[in-house]
Each structure stands twice: as structure tokens, then as C-alpha cells.
Structure 1
Amino acid sequence: MLFIGDDWAEDHHDIAVMDEGGRVLTRRRLTEGVSGLEALHDLLGGYLPENAAPAEVLIGIETDRGPWVQGLLASGYTVYAINPAQSARYRQRTGAAGAKSDKGDALVLARIVAVDRELHRAIAADSDVAEEVKVLARAHQSLIWARQRQANVLRSNLREYYPAALSAFGQDLHGRDAMAVLGAEPGPKAGARLTPARVQALLRHAGRQRYLAARAGEIVEALHAPQLPARPGIEAAYTATTAALVAVIRELNAQIGVLQGQVEESFGRHPDAEIYLSQPGLGPVLGARVLGEFGDAADRYADARSRRNYAGTSPVTRASGTKRSVLARHARNRRLADALDLQAFTALSVSPGARAYYDARRSRGATHHQTLRALANRLVGILHGCLRHHTTYNEDTAWHTTTQNVELRAA
């Protein structure tokens, strides 16, 4: 066997090669890309016998994605994705002076896979469809987060010179109504001159079809309300800034819609899509996020507990002496955790079993967020069972009781 430490950067990789006896055979800096990967193959070929299998090359690297990692997996190497926090702890074990270098980090990664690889999990290659779903779902979610950041900037901007707009649109500053009205009249003076008929026309053009007159009346009433004015020059500057922010948010809305269609199309082509969509609280978008983050490699999760640990829904126990505490797991995949939290919240209204489980834990004193985490943990276990047995969700099987009894107990 050969043990390789790969400390990666944007344009290069620092490589350390160790043998089974712990002897450092070589250290090398390779360029990113095809030429660097070819150089790595040549380098390793000089230390391996002719009949050696590629899987006997064990590589530790602090990432699980990217063309370089995919190239390593395609070559047949066994690749371990090491958490940077874990490698930092190993570095402290090998030296107390606090020194750090890329070459030293590569050697630490090589030692991890040589000595403690059983404590880490090798990367399992997902299918092409799952990788496609993951890329699209992440891009879609990133745009949603970017839109929220821009909406927060817009809120701060309006607070400085146009508080009436905040009263008119509330928390939905990136929504259709706010974009229609603020896109046409971003300033308080023009907003105070808007008529119900004009606002109705703007809302209708933006796509609103129901409650036009009532919603237009609410907006006009809020925009016509007295407010403390900003200085004339300052007001003009803020008005121009609002117009620019509205244009950015509008474009983000459009691209989010485009990506959502691509996410749903890609997710629908995955063979496990039906199983994910059968789970309570999962639709095409949330289902795509969960599938993309979990992946579909058959041997990635040994059991439901492993999947829960990766999801970050299972708690962490800390015990020392007479003290023992059970805490939420904060080191986790943020994207997956966000999707599972939304699933748990949505499941409350569509699954009697989930609702009864939530109510029972709340009655024992758990907070709302603690209970949602526990419910998400339970739902991850149910999903694992469905995927393992290739079957869709069944309410009675999932909660080990009949639907009628669950409804009676919840009542």
C-alpha cells in the first residue's frame, strides 16, 4: 500500500507519499488539472509493483468534490475526505510549536490515512444524475440565500428614508408585489402619489390575479401614511440605491425560477425520486436538496445511524465525571440541515404520525427547535429504511401504528 497526503490549493497540490512502514518516500508539488494528475500517476507508478491494484493507493484530502477528486476516484484510488478540523488536531499532535506549511499538512494527511483510516470513511462515488442534482440544487439554494441577503440590504435602505414601504410589504420585500411597486416608484414622494388604479395595474402586470383591489388598497394606505422625511439629497441617493437593488433582486428571482425548473427536471430522472417524493414534507426542490447532499452511493451509509450522524440531526453526548449533557450537533452539512429542518416543519401538516411525535415531545418540555431536530432525525431514519428496501413511504409502517390510532392520540 501507498499512503498519500494531498494538501490542495486553487492552482496546485502538495503531495506526500508514505509506505506501509511509515517512511516518507517523496514530497512533490503538482499543478492542478490534467497535467498534474498525469504527473501523480507517473509518480505513484514508480513506487507500486506492476500487479498492484489502484485501490491500494490511499489518499487523504480535505475535500470531497471537484474535478481533481473525481479524477482520483475514476483512477480507482481509495480517497478519504478528511475534515479540516480533524487534520488540524492531528497537526497539533505531531508538533507543539504551532508551525504550519502546505508540505507539512500533506504529510499529516498521509499519516491520517496510514494510521487512523478506520476512523474515516472513503468517498463513495455517486451516480452522474445524483451529482447533477447536487450541483443544480446547491446553485438554486445559493441564489435563494443571495436574494435574501439583497433583500436585507434593501430593508436597511428603506428604513433610512422610506419606512412606509416596510409597512406596505412587510417581510416579503423580494416578493412580486414589492418588486412591482418599488420597481416603478422607488421613492416616497412618487409612492405617496400612487392611486389604487395604478397599483392594481402594476400588480396585475406582475402576475397577481386574486384580491387585486384589496391588496392595492392596503399598499396605497401604507404608502400614503405620514412619515418623517429624509433630507432631499439623501432621499434621492437612497431612491437610486433602491432602484438598483430592486433590479438585482428581480434578476435573482428570474434565475431562481429558471434553476428551479432544471432542478425538478434533473431530480425527476433519478431512480429514487419516487421514494424521496413519498416522504412527508418533501417536494421536488427539497427532495432534490436532500438527495444531492446525501448522495446515492449504495455503500456510503452502513446503517440509519450513520446517515443521521452525517445529516447532523443526531445529538452529541458529552460526559465527564458526574456531568452528562446531550447537545445539538453543530458541525454538520448546513445545506442538508436546512432542508431537513424545512421537511420536518412541513411534515407536521401532512403526516399524523409526525404531528403526534412532535406533540408528545413538546408535552415533555422540549422546545420547538429541539423537537423539530428530533423529528428530522426520525424522518432521516425512515428515509434510510425506504431507500434500503426500495419502497415508498407508508404512514402506518413508519410510525409503527395505525393512522386511526395516531389521529386519536394526537386529538
Structure 2
Amino acid sequence: MLFLGDDWAESHHDIELQDERGRVLKRCRLPEGVTGLGQLHALIADHLADHDEPESVLVGIETDRGGWVHALVAAGYTVYAINPKQASRYRERLTTSGAKSDPGDAHVLAQIVRLDREHHRVIAGDSEQAEVVKTVARTHQTMIWTRQRQANQLRSMLREFYPAALEAFGEDLASRDALAVLAVAATPAAGRALSTARLVSVLRKAGRQRNLQARAQEISTALRAEHLGLSDALTEAYGVSVTSLVAVLTTMVAQAAALEGEVERCFGQHPDAEIITSQPGLGVVLGARVLAEFGDDKDRYADAKARRNYAGTSPITKTSGKSKVVLARYARNKRLADALHQQAFSALSASPGARAFYDHHRARGATHHQALRALSNRLVGILDGCLRNQTTYDETTAWAHRQPAAA
């Protein structure tokens, strides 16, 4: 067997190749891309016996994405994605001086896959369709987060000089009504100058169909309310800034909607889509995110507990002497955690069993978020069972163990 440590950077890869005894066979720096990958294959071929298969080459690298990683997997190598924090702790085991270098990191990665690979996970063999869903679902989720950050920035700016706009639109500054009105009335003076008829026209053009007159009157009343103001020059500067932010937000809203349509299309083509969306609280978008982060490799999770651990819904226990503390698992996949938290909250109204489970934990003294985490942990286990048995969710089966025994 051969053991390869690959410390990657944007433009190059530092490589160290070891044999089974830990003897260094080759150290070098390869360029990123096709040229570097060809050199890597040639380097491995020089040290691989004729009867050895590509899977006998074990690669340690601190990422599980990108063309380079996909090429390594496609070549048949056994690739381990090492968490950078774990690699850092291994480095401290090998040296106490605090020294760090790219070749040194490649050495650490080679040592990990040679000596300690049982504690690390081989990159999952997810299907191409699952990878497609992951790409669009993550992009859509990132767009939503970025949109919210921009909306928060806009809110902060309006609070400084245009509080009437916050009264008119509340917290939903990324709504079509707010963006349409702020695009034509970026300052308090412009807002007060808008007539109800003009507001009706703006709202209709933005896509509102119902309650046009009433909504226009509400906005007009809010925009005409008296508030403390700033100087004309400063107000004008703020207005220009608001116009720019509104333009950015408008584009983000449109692109998020387009991405959502692509998420629905790609997720709908996956064979597990029906099973995933049958779960309480999981619609198409959240279901796509759950599939994207869990993957669809049937051998990736040994059991439901392994899936829960990866999801970060299962708690961790810290014991020392007579002390024992159970804590939430915060080191986890943040994208998956966000999707599962939303699922648990939505499941409260979609599933009587989920609601009863949540109420039971609340009655025992758990906080809202603690009860949601416990519910999310249970729902992950249910999803694991459905995927293993290729069956859709059934309310009675899922919560049968919590029903009182018949007399």
C-alpha cells in the first residue's frame, strides 16, 4: 500500500508519498490542474507494484470538494477528507515548536492515513445527481443567507435616517413591496411625496394583486409620520446608499427565486426525493438541503446513530471523575443543522407525534431549543429508517413506540 499526503493550495499541491513502514518515497510540489494531476499519477505509478490496484493508494487531503478531489476518486484512489482542525491537532503531536509548513502538513496527512485512518471517513461515493443537488442547494442557501445580511444592513441604515420606512415594512425589507417602494422613495422626503395613487401603481407593478388600495394607504400613512431627521446633505448621502442596497437586494431576490426553481427541478429527479419529502416538516427546498448534506451513499452511515452523530443532533457527554455533563453538539455541519432545525419546527404543526414528543420534553423542563434538538434527533433516526427500507414516512409507524399499550 502507498500513503499520500496532499496539502492543497489554490495554485499548487505539496505531496508526500510514504510506504507501509513510513519511509518517505517522494516529496514534491505539483501545480494545480491537469498538468499536476498527470504528474501525480506518474509519480504513483513509479512506486505502485504491477499487481496493486488503485484503491491501495490512500490519500489524505483537507477537503472533499473540487475537481482535483473528484479526479482522485475517479482514478480509484481511496481518499480521506481530513478535518483541518484534526490535522492541526496531529501536527501538535509531531512537533511542539509550533512550526508549520506546507511540506510538513503533507507529511502529517500521510501519517494520518497510514497510522490512524480507522478514525476518519473515506469520501462518500455519492451519486452524480446527489452532487448536482448539493451544488444548487448550497448555492441557494448561501444566497438566502447573503440576502438576509444585506437586508440587515439596509435595516440598520434606515434606522439611522428613515425610521418611517421601518414602520411601513417592518422586518421584511426584502419583500417585493418594500423593495419596490424604496426604489422610488429612498429618502423621507421622497416617501412623504408619494401619493396613494402612485403607491398603488408601484405595488401593482411589483406584483401585488390583492388589497392594493388598503396596503397603499397603510404605507402612505407610515411614510408621512413625523420622525427626527438629519441634515439635507447627510440624508441625500444615505438615500444614495439605500438606492444601491435596494438594487442589490432586488437582484438577489430574483436570483434566489431562480435558484429555488433549479433546486426543485434537480431534487425532483433524485430517486429518494419522494421518501425525503414525505418526512414531516420537509418540503422540496429543505429536503434538497438534507439530501445534499447527508448524501446518498448507502454505505456512508453504519446505523441511525452514525447519521445522528454526523447531523450533530445527538448530544455529547463529558465525564471526569464524579462529574458528568451532557451538552449539545456544536461542532457540526452548519448547513445541515440549519435545515434540520427548520424541519423540527415545521414538524410541530405537521405531525401529531412530533408535537407530542416536543411537548413531552418541554414538560420535563427542556427549553424550546433543547426540545427542538431532541425532536430533530428523533426525526433524523426516522429518516434513516425510511431510507434504509426505501419506504415513505408513516405517522403511526414512526411514533408507535410512544403510544400507550392497548388494554
TM-score bracket, shorter-length normalisation: over 0.9
Matched residue, 1:258 = 258
The one-character-per-residue Cα deviations of 1:223-251 (angstroms, maximum 9, x if unpaired) are: 11101111110000101110111010000
* TM-aligned CA deviation for residue 121 of structure 1: 1.2
Aligned equivalents of 2:319 and 2:401: distance in 1? 35
- Tell me which residue corresponds to 1:40: 40
Please list, as runs of the form range in 1=range in 2, the aligned pairs for 1:7-406 lying within 5 A after superposition: 7-400=7-400
Q: Which residues of structure 2 form unaligned runs of 5+?
A: none
1:409 aligned partner: none
Tell me how far apart the structure 2 counterparts of residues 401 and 217 of structure 1 sit (CA, whole Å): 55
1:372 maps to a residue whose letter is: L
Q: Over residues 32-82 of structure 1, what are the superposed CA-to-partner deviations in whole Å (9 max), with x where a residue is unaligned?
A: 111111111110111111010111000111111111110000000000011
Q: Secondary structure, in 3 states, of the residue corresponding to 2:197?
A: helix
Deviation per residue, 1:298-349 (Å, 9 max, x gap): 1111111111111111111111111111111111111111111111111111
CA distance in 2, matches of 1:10, 1:64: 15
**Cα distance in 1 between the residues matched to 2:400 and 2:104:** 53
AA in 1 matched with 2:375: L
Q: Could you tell me how far 1:120 is from its partner in structure 2? A: 0.8
In 1, distance between residues paired with 2:401 and 2:5?
51
Which letter maps to 2:243?
Answer: A
2:401 and 2:237 map into 1 onto residues whose CA distance is: 63
The 1:108/1:349 distance shift into structure 2, 3 A limit, reads same
One-letter amino acid matched to 1:43: L
Q: Which amino acid aligns with 1:331?
A: A
Identity %: 63
- Which secondary structure does the structure 2 equivalent of 1:348 belong to? helix
Q: Report the alpha carbon displacement of residue 402 of structure 1 after superposing the two structures with TM.
A: 8.7
- Equivalents in 2 of 1:97, 1:402: separation in Å? 56
Secondary structure of 1:347's counterpart equals helix
Q: TM-score normalized by structure 2? A: 0.97
Secondary structure of residue in 1 paired with 2:326: strand
Residues 153-203 of structure 1, C-alpha deviations (whole Å, 9 max, x = no match): 111111111011011111100111101111111110010122222222211
Of 208-217 and 144-153, deviating more is 208-217
Question: Are the counterparts in 2 of residues 396 and 402 from structure 1 also a CA contact under 8 Å?
Answer: no
Structure 2 counterpart of 1:75, one-letter code: A
Q: CA deviation at 1:215?
A: 2.0
Cα distance in 2 for residues equivalent to 1:224 and 1:39: 70
Which AA in structure 2 matches 1:278?
A: S
User: Which one is further off, 52-61 or 206-215?
Assistant: 206-215
Q: CA RMSD in A?
A: 1.3
Given residue 354 of structure 1, which amino acid in structure 2 is its aligned partner?
A: A
In 2, Cα distance between equivalents of 1:192 and 1:167: 13
Counterparts of 1:200 and 1:365, CA distance in 2: 50
**Cα distance, 1:221 vs. partner?**
1.4
Q: Which amino acid aligns with 2:343?
A: Q
The offset of 1:269, in angstroms, is: 0.3
In the alignment of these two chains, the number of paired residues is 405
- Residue 370 of structure 1 aligns with an amino acid whose one-letter code is Q
AA paired with 2:383? L
Aligned letter for 2:263? V
Q: Supply the AA of the counterpart residue of 1:95.
A: T
Amino acid of the structure 1 residue aligned with 2:231: R
Tell me which amino acid in the other structure corresponds to 2:111: R
C-alpha deviation, 1:401, in angstroms: 5.3
